[in-house]
Amino acid sequence: MSTSAERKLTILDTALALVRNTGFESVSIASLANEVGMSKSGLFAHFNSKEKMHLMILDHAAEKFGADIFGRSLKAKRGLPRLKLIVKNWVNWYKTDGGGTCPFLAAAVEYDSKPGAVKSRIQLHTNKLISSLNYSIDLCVEEDHFRKSIETKKVTFELYSIIIGHLVYLRTMEVKSANKIFQSSFNEFIERYQI
Amino acid sequence: MSTSAERKLTILDTALALVRNTGFESVSIASLANEVGMSKSGLFAHFNSKEKMHLMILDHAAEKFGADIFGRSLKAKRGLPRLKLIVKNWVNWYKTDGGGTCPFLAAAVEYDSKPGAVKSRIQLHTNKLISSLNYSIDLCVEEDHFRKSIETKKVTFELYSIIIGHLVYLRTMEVKSANKIFQSSFNEFIERYQI
DNA sequence: ATAAATATAGCACGATCGTTCGATTTATCA
DNA sequence: TGATAAATCGAACGATCGTGCTATATTTAT
C-alpha cells in the first residue's frame, strides 16, 4: 500500500475510534488532527471539507462494522448459528477497541434534523445494515431454522430494535442487568420463530 | 404566574422545540437567545451556565413528555387500553408541535461519552421513563389483561425497544412502511402476552 | 540526479461559542 | 413617588472552529 493510502487509513481509523468515544459531530478537523498528530491544514488537505471528511468516516465505519460483525460471522453455519454469531459480534462491538457507541446510531440521531449529503449517507448505510440483518434472517428460513410463515421484515425490525434498545439500556442502567435482559429477550426472540 | 416565571417558561418551551428540531447539543445559548428574541447575555443570566441551561431543558422536557404521553393516558381504563393510548401518544409525539426526535434518545446518544451532571440527569429521566412504562405493563397484569407469568421488566424492554426502533426506522426509510412494520410488531407484542 | 507531484506545515481570516462586566431599562414595593 | 431589586442589554474576552493561502518538506517518476 502506498504511503498516502496508509496515512489516510491511519487517519480514518483514528477518526472512527474518536467517533465511537465522543460521538460523531464532536470529531472536528482540529481535534482529529491533534489526535493523529499532524497540523490542522495538513489533515484538511486530505479531505478538502468537513463534509467530505464525515462522508469518508461514515464509509470507513460501514466497512469496518460490516467486516467485524457480518464478515466474521461467515465461519458459522448458515442460518441460526450465523445469526447468533452476528448478534454476538454486534454486542461485542460496544466493548472492543476501547468500546463506544454504535457509530451509525450516533450519526443517525445527531444528523436527524440536518438534511444533506451526510444524512443521506447515514440513511444509506443504515439501510444496508438492516438489509444485511434481514438477509441473515432469510437464511434462517431457508435453512429451516425459522418457520416459513414469518414476515422476515418484521422479524428483522424486532431484532434490530432490541439490539439498539440494549445499547440504550447499557448506557442508562447497570451493565449487568442490561445484558441479562437483552440476552433473555434475544433467546425468547429465537424461540418465538424457531421451528 | 409572575412575569419572570412566564419568561422562563417561554424560554424553555422554545428550547424544547429547538431540541426536537435540531438535537440537543446544537442548542447553544446564542442560538436560543436568537430564537427567543433576546440578547445572549440576557438569556445567559437566566441560567448562569450552559450546563445549568441543559439541565433545566432536560427537566422541562421530562415534565412535558410525561404529561403528554403518560398524563394524557389516564383517561383510558387501567391496563391494556391505557398502555395502547400511551404508545399512541408516544408515537404521536414525533409528529406534534412541529415533530422532531425524542429528546431523551437524542440526549442519551449525544451525551453518551460525556460524563457529568448532564449525562446523569439524562440517565435519571430515562430510568424514570422506563419505570413509568414498566408500571403501565404491571397494570396490564394486575387487570388480568396480560398473563401473570410474564417478566414485566423484559416485556418493558421489548416495548421500549420497538418504540425507539420505530423512531430510527422512521428516519431511515419510507415513513409509511416504518409505521406499518411498527404497528404490526406492536400488535403481535400485545397478542404475545395477552390472556 | 533532477524535475514534477504530493503531503504537510504555518499563519491568518471570519464566524461562533460560553462567559464576564458594567450600564441601563423595567418591575416591585415601602 | 421614590428607592430597591431584578431583568436585560451591549461590548469585549479568549477558545475553537472550518477554510484558504503560501511556503516547505517529502515522495515519486523520469
- The predicted-structure confidence for A108-138, as pLDDT tens digits, reads as follows 999 988 999 999 999 999 999 999 999 999 9
CA gap A14, A3 in Å, rounded: 16
Query: How far does the CA of B8 sit from the C1' of D17, in Å?
Result: 30
Q: Which amino acid is at A117?
A: A
More confident residue, A98 or A24: A24
Per-residue pLDDT, A2: 57
Residue A194, phi then psi, degrees to nearest 5: -70, 150
Question: Three cell numbers at B114?
Answer: 460525556
The C-alpha of B194 sits at a distance from chain A's nearest C-alpha, in angstroms, of: 15
Residues of chain A found within 8 Å of residue B112, distances taken between Cβ atoms: 23, 101, 106, 171
* A93 has pLDDT over 60: yes
* A148 has pLDDT over 90: yes
* Distance set, CA B147 to CA A35, A37, A50, B80, B190 (Å): 54, 59, 54, 12, 11
Q: Which conformational region is residue A62 in: left (phi greater than 0), alpha (psi within -120 to 50 degrees), or beta?
A: alpha
* A9 has pLDDT over 80: yes
Average pLDDT in chain A: 95
Per-residue pLDDT, A101: 84
- How much is the CA Rg of chain A, to the nearest whole Å? 18
CA gap B159, B161 in Å, rounded: 5
3-state class of B30 per DSSP?
helix
Tens of pLDDT, residue by residue, chain B (195 residues): 457 788 999 999 999 999 998 989 999 999 999 999 999 999 999 999 999 999 999 999 999 999 999 999 999 999 999 999 999 999 999 887 667 788 999 999 999 889 999 999 999 999 999 999 999 999 999 999 999 999 999 999 999 999 999 999 999 999 999 999 999 999 999 999 999
A1 pLDDT band, cuts 50/70/90, is very low
Q: What are the residues whose beta carbons fall under 8 Å from the beta carbon of A189, sequence distance 6 or more?
A: A158, A159, A162
For residue B18, the chain A residue with the least C-alpha distance is A113
Number of cross-chain residue pairs from A and B with Cβ atoms under 8 Å apart: 119
Greatest extent of chain B over all pairs of C-alpha atoms, in Å = 59
Query: How far does the CA of A108 sit from the C1' of D15, in Å?
Result: 29
Q: Which residue is nearest to nucleotide C7 (CA to C1')?
A: A42
Domains and CATH numbers, chain B: 57-193 (1.10.357.10)
Residue B80 contacts residue B190 (beta carbons within 8 Å): yes
Q: Is A107 on the interface with B (CB under 8 A)?
A: no
CB contact under 8 A, B164 and A169: no
CA gap A168, A173 in Å, rounded: 9
Residues of chain A found within 8 Å of residue B22, distances taken between Cβ atoms: 113-114
- Rounded to the nearest angstrom, the gap between the alpha carbon of residue B187 and the centroid of all alpha carbons in its chain is 22
3-state helix, strand, coil in chain B (%, to 5): 75, 0, 20
3-state helix, strand, coil in chain A (%, to 5): 75, 0, 20
Interface of B with A in 117-176 (CB under 8 A): 123, 126-127, 130, 151, 153-154, 157-158, 160-162, 164-166, 168-169, 171-173
The C-alpha of A37 sits at a distance from chain B's nearest C-alpha, in angstroms, of: 22
pTM score over 0.85: yes
B113 → closest Cβ in A23, A168, A172 = A23
Per-residue pLDDT, A128: 98
DSSP B112: T
- Scan residues 36-75 of chain B and list those with Cβ within 7 Å of strand C: 40-41, 44, 48-51
- How much is the CA Rg of chain B, to the nearest whole Å? 18
Per-residue pLDDT, B2: 59
